[in-house]
């Protein structure tokens, strides 16, 4: 089950049914099944709080993924800062929805075992995001 939750902000206008179908399709591409996934859309202030409390990081980010996956069933809590998604969309010259979709699938790719800790892995992650985004039919 995939949940979409807003904390202290308005839930972004997303087509939940289509996004959920897409997430399941992408997970299947990696040999995974979707278990319990919660997307928590929040503000920069909230993601900073989560970052400090759970990861001991003192900076803003667009996404934090907590992975509770077991075997081939992906599960997790995915915090997404709508403030940072908006500013990133402006910085990268893309629409808010395009950037939001990229970040939504970025969290799923992490749950599927993909990493982006080095420049090479970040490039590979972007390539995989682009492949996944090509499968989204809204």
Closest CA to 122 of 113, 133, 111, 114: 114
Is residue 138 assigned to a domain?
no
52-95 pLDDT per residue, tens? 999 998 888 999 999 999 999 999 999 999 999 999 999 999 99
The number of distinct structural domains making up the chain is 1
E strand spans, the chain = 2-6, 33-42, 63-67, 73-81
121-131 pLDDT per residue, tens? 999 999 999 99
20-40 pLDDT per residue, tens? 999 999 999 999 999 999 999
pLDDT of amino acid 86: 97
Report whether 90 contacts 100 (CB < 8 A). no
Is residue 98 assigned to a domain?
yes
- Domain range for residue 80? 2-133
Is residue 117 assigned to a domain?
yes
Rg over alpha carbons for the chain, rounded to the nearest Å, is 14
Q: How much is the pTM?
A: 0.95
Domain holding 71: CATH number?
3.40.390.30
DSSP reduced 3-state for 116: coil
- Interacting residues of 7 by C-beta distance below 8 A, sequence separation 6+: 40, 41, 42, 43, 46
Is residue 51 assigned to a domain?
yes
Residues in the chain: 138
Is residue 95 assigned to a domain?
yes
């Amino acid at each position: 089950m995939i949940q979409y939750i807003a904390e202290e902000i308005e839930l972004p206008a997303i087509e939940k049914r289509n996004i959920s179908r897409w997430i399941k399709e992408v997970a299947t591409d990696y040999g995974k099944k979707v278990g319990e996934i919660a997307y928590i859309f929040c503000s920069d202030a909230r993601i900073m709080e989560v970052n400090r409390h759970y990861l001991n990081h003192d900076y803003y980010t667009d996404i934090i993924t907590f992975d509770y996956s077991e075997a081939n069933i992906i599960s997790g809590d995915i915090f997404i800062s709508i403030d940072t998604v908006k500013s990133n969309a402006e910085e990268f010259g893309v629409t808010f929805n395009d950037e939001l979709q990229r970040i939504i699938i970025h969290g799923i790719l992490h749950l599927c075992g993909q990493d982006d800790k080095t420049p090479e892995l970040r490039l590979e992650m972007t390539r995989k995001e682009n492949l996944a985004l090509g499968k989204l039919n809204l």
